[in-house]
């Protein structure tokens, strides 16, 4: 169940961060409300995951997959550049998050 909570938290993290730009500094009420709800839901599901999973594993995977997901969404929806260097850096992020889990006792 902890991994399910974490996957939901990661999806919400990507949605929250990806919609942040549309709030225009929280000056647009509709997008701002959606963004705040996504943020609160994100933190709720992460907190549920951390009750079950080791904090270091959950947080590093949440952060890593969230960052990679936001970069991909920003490329698709906002036209941000996406080259080989960025792909390589994202691979290192994922490798680091995976390594924390793979090389931890228990």
pLDDT in tens, 78-89: 888 888 999 999
| Counted domains in the chain | 1
Answer yes or no: are the C-beta atoms of 13 and 64 closer than 8 Å.
Answer: no
Residue 101 has pLDDT above 90, yes or no: no
30: containing domain: 2-102
pTM summary value: 0.87
* Burial state string for 44-58 with b = 16 or more CB within 10 A and e = fewer than 16: ebbebbbeebeeebb
Q: Please report the pLDDT score of residue 97 as a whole number.
A: 81
Q: State yes or no: pLDDT of 21 exceeds 80.
A: yes
Q: How many residues does the chain have?
A: 106
């Amino acid at each position: 169940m902890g991994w399910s909570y974490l996957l939901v938290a990661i999806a919400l993290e990507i949605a929250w961060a990806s919609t942040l730009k549309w709030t225009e500094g929280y000056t647009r009420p509709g997008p701002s409300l959606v963004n705040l709800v996504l943020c609160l839901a994100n933190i709720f599901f992460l907190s549920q995951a951390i009750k079950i999973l080791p904090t270091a594993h959950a947080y590093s995977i949440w952060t890593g997959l969230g960052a990679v997901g936001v970069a991909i969404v920003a490329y698709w929806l906002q036209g941000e550049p996406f080259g080989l260097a960025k792909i390589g850096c994202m691979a290192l992020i994922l490798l680091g998050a995976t390594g924390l889990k793979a090389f931890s006792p228990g």
